[in-house]
C-alpha cells in the first residue's frame, strides 16, 4: 500500500467535509435555547458553548476529534444475515434499515476503527444513536467482536463509546443473544490483559447497559447521559411514583457507585490518553493536539478513511 494514500487522502477528505458545513448555519441548543453557530458547535464537539449541554455526535465526527490528526482506519465488520426473522411490524425491517441508511449515510449502528490517540495506538468502537436508536443487533455484536479481536491482534486497548436505546427488536432473540456474544468479546480483552474503557454517552439503555457497556475496566460517562436498564417511564408506570431529579443520569449513577467518572466530551480525549497510558505502563503523553502519525505507524494498516 502506498503511504500517500494513508497520509494524504484523509486530510483532503477532512478539508472537503469542512466545506460541507455552511458558515452561516445556526442551530439551537435544545437545552438552553441559545442559537449557536454551526461551525462553532462542531468545533466544540457538539457541546453547547453556552450551557455545556452534550448533543449527539456521530461516530465519524467523534473519531475525527479523537484520533491524532483525525486519522483512523476502519476495521472491517463481518456482515450478518440480513433480516434473519423476516420481521415485520407496521413496516418491514429491511425498509427501516434502508431509511436509516439514507438518513445517516452509515450502513449500521456501530463504527470500529484503529488509530492513535496521543501517539498511543488503540482500537475504538462507537455506537450511532441516529441509526435506529443505536440498537444492538447482529451487526453491532459482530462489530464489538471484531473490535475486540483487532485489539487482541494488535495488542491495543479498546475504547468503546456506547449509545443505544437497547436491543434491536426486529432481530428478536438474536438481538438478545448479543448480550452473551459481546460479553465473550470483553472476555477476549480481559484474558489478553488489554484495557477496556467504556464511555457511556446519552442514552445508553436496556440490554446494551446490561452487557458490554457495564463491563469496562474503567467506566466513564458524558455529563447528564441517561444510563439505565429499565427506562424512567417504565419505572414510573410500575411503581406509580415520581422519580427523583436526575434519576438515572450520569451524575446520579456516579453518586450511586456505578461509574468511575463523569467527564465532559471536550476533556475526554486527554483523559482517555492519560488513563490508557497508565494502564499500559507508558510514559505520560504530550498534551494537546498532535499532528497525524508518521507514515511508518500506519503502513501496515488497511485503507484509511475519515
Partner 1 sequence: MTNYLDFERPLAEIEGKAEELRAMARQNEEMDIEAEAAALDKKAADMLKDLYKSLTPWRKCQVARHPDRPHCKDYIDALFTEYTPLAGDRNFADDHAVMGGLARFDGRPVVVIGHEKGNDTKSRIERNFGMARPEGYRKAVRLMDMADKFGLPVMTLVDTPGAYPGKGAEERGQSEAIARATEKCLQLKVPLISVIIGEGGSGGAVAFATANRVAMLEHSVYSVISPEGCASILWKDAEKMREAAEALRLTAQDLHKLGVIDRIIAEPMGGAHRDRTTTIETVGDALRTMLADLGSQKGAKLLADRRKKFLDMGAKGLAA
Residue ranges in contact with partner 1 by CB under 8 A: 80-81, 83-90, 138, 141, 145, 167, 169, 171-177, 179-181, 183-184, 186-187, 206-207, 209-215, 227-230, 234-235, 238-239, 241, 243, 247-248, 256-258
Q: Does 100 bind Zn ion (CB under 5 A)?
A: no
Quick count: other Cβ atoms within 10 Å of Cβ 216? 22
The site partner of 31 among partner 1, Zn ion, none (C-beta below 5 to 8 Å per kind) is: Zn ion
Q: How far apart are the C-alpha atoms of 59 and 158, rounded to whole Å? A: 15
| Residue 144 C-beta: closest distance to partner 1, Å | 11
Give the strand pairing for 120-127 and 196-205. unpaired
| Residue 215 C-beta: closest distance to partner 1, Å | 5
The site partner of 107 among Zn ion, partner 1, none (C-beta below 5 to 8 Å per kind) is: none
Q: Does 224 bind Zn ion (CB under 5 A)?
A: no
Please identify, using beta-carbon distances, which residue of 56 and 176 lies nearer to partner 1: 176
The number of CA neighbours under 13 Å toward the Cβ of 298 is: 32
Please identify, using beta-carbon distances, which residue of 55 and 230 lies nearer to partner 1: 230
| Residue 54 C-beta: closest distance to Zn ion, Å | 10
The site partner of 50 among partner 1, Zn ion, none (C-beta below 5 to 8 Å per kind) is: Zn ion
Give me 136's grid cell.
444492538
Nearest C-alpha neighbor of 129 from the set 201, 61, 227, 231: 201
Q: CB–CB of 164/134 below 8 Å? A: yes
Residue at grid coordinates 441509526: 131
Give the strand pairing for 120-127 and 110-117. antiparallel
Q: How far apart are the C-alpha atoms of 55 and 268, rounded to whole Å? A: 15
Q: How far apart are the C-alpha atoms of 57 and 45, rounded to whole Å? A: 7
The site partner of 230 among Zn ion, partner 1, none (C-beta below 5 to 8 Å per kind) is: partner 1
Please identify, using beta-carbon distances, which residue of 40 and 236 lies nearer to Zn ion: 40
Q: How far apart are the C-alpha atoms of 141 and 186, rounded to whole Å? A: 11
The site partner of 94 among partner 1, Zn ion, none (C-beta below 5 to 8 Å per kind) is: none
18-48: string of b/e by CB count within 10 Å (b at 16+)?
Answer: eeeeeeeeebebeeeeeebeeeebbebbbbb
The site partner of 239 among partner 1, Zn ion, none (C-beta below 5 to 8 Å per kind) is: partner 1
The site partner of 276 among partner 1, Zn ion, none (C-beta below 5 to 8 Å per kind) is: none
| Residue 30 C-beta: closest distance to Zn ion, Å | 8
Q: Which of 41, 47, 48, 250 binds Zn ion (CB under 5 A)?
A: 48
Q: Which of 13, 14, 17, 31 binds Zn ion (CB under 5 A)?
A: 31
Q: Does 29 bind Zn ion (CB under 5 A)?
A: yes
3-class DSSP state of 198? strand
Where on the chain is the footprint of Zn ion (CB under 5 A)?
Answer: 29, 31-32, 34, 48, 50-51, 53
Amino acid at each position: 500500500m502506498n503511504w500517500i494514500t494513508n497520509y494524504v487522502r484523509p486530510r483532503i477528505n477532512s478539508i472537503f467535509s469542512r466545506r460541507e458545513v455552511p458558515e452561516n448555519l445556526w442551530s439551537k441548543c435544545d437545552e438552553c435555547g441559545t442559537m449557536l453557530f454551526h461551525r462553532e458547535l462542531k468545533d466544540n464537539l457538539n457541546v453547547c458553548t453556552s450551557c455545556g449541554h452534550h448533543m449527539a455526535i456521530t461516530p465519524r465526527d467523534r473519531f475525527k476529534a479523537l484520533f491524532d490528526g483525525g486519522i483512523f482506519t476502519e476495521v472491517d465488520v463481518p456482515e450478518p444475515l440480513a433480516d434473519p426473522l423476516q420481521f415485520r411490524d407496521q413496516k418491514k425491517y429491511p425498509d427501516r434499515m434502508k431509511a436509516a441508511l439514507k438518513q445517516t449515510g452509515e450502513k449500521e449502528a456501530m463504527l470500529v476503527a484503529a488509530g492513535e490517540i496521543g501517539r498511543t495506538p488503540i482500537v475504538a468502537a462507537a455506537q450511532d444513536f441516529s441509526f435506529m436508536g443505536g440498537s444492538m443487533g447482529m451487526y453491532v455484536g459482530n462489530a464489538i467482536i471484531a473490535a475486540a479481536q483487532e485489539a487482541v491482534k494488535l495488542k491495543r486497548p479498546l475504547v468503546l463509546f456506547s449509545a443505544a436505546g437497547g436491543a434491536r427488536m426486529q432481530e428478536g432473540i438474536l438481538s438478545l443473544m448479543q448480550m452473551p456474544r459481546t460479553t465473550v468479546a470483553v472476555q477476549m480483552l480481559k484474558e489478553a490483559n488489554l484495557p477496556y474503557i467504556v464511555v457511556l454517552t446519552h442514552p445508553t439503555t436496556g440490554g446494551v447497559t446490561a452487557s458490554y457497556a457495564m463491563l469496562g475496566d474503567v467506566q466513564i460517562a458524558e455529563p447528564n447521559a441517561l444510563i439505565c436498564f429499565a427506562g424512567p417511564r417504565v419505572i414510573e408506570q410500575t411503581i406509580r411514583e415520581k422519580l427523583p431529579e436526575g434519576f438515572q443520569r450520569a451524575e446520579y449513577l456516579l453518586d450511586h457507585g456505578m461509574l468511575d467518572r463523569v467527564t465532559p466530551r471536550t476533556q475526554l480525549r486527554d483523559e482517555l490518553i492519560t488513563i490508557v497510558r497508565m494502564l499500559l505502563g507508558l510514559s505520560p503523553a504530550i498534551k494537546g493536539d498532535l499532528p497525524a502519525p508518521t507514515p511508518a505507524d500506519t503502513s501496515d494498516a488497511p485503507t484509511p478513511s475519515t
